[in-house]
Structure 1
Amino acid sequence: MASPSSSMIHRLLLALSVVSAAVLVSGHLSPEFYAAKCPNLRNIVRSAMAEAVRQNPRNAAFVLRLFFHDCFVNVLRIAASGCDASILLDGTAAFASEKFANPNNNSAHGFELIDAIKARVEAECPATVSCADVLALSAHDGVASLGGPTWTVQLGRRDSVAAYQAAANREIPAPFNDLSKLISLFRDKGLSPRDMTALSGGHTIGLAQCSNFAAHIYNDCNADPSFVASRRRICSPDGGRNLAPIDSETPFRFDNAYYRGLVARRGLLHSDQELLNGGSQDALVRQYSADGEAFAGDFAAAMVKMGALSPRPGTTGEVRLKCSKLN
Structure 2
Amino acid sequence: MAKQSNQAYFDKTGTEFVVDHIVDQTAYVRPMVKILGQTRGYEGEVYEDEFTEPASYLVTMPADDLFNSPPVAVVDAELEAKKAELEELRKDARQVVADLKREQSKAEQELAAAKRDLEKWMKSHRVMIDLGKLLDGEILYPLSVRQNPYHRGREIPQIPDMRDMRFLSIHSGNFESGQKWIKEEYARDTYGSPFRFFDTEDERNAVIKEEFDSACEQFRKAPDFETASWTTGTDLNFGTLLQWVKAHPALCIPDDIQKMKMVNDATLAEEHKAKLRAELEAIEGN
The TM tier, using the shorter chain, reads under 0.3
Between structure 1 and structure 2, the one with the greater Rg is: 2
- Higher strand fraction: Structure 1 or Structure 2? 2
TM-score, normalised on structure 2? Answer: 0.25
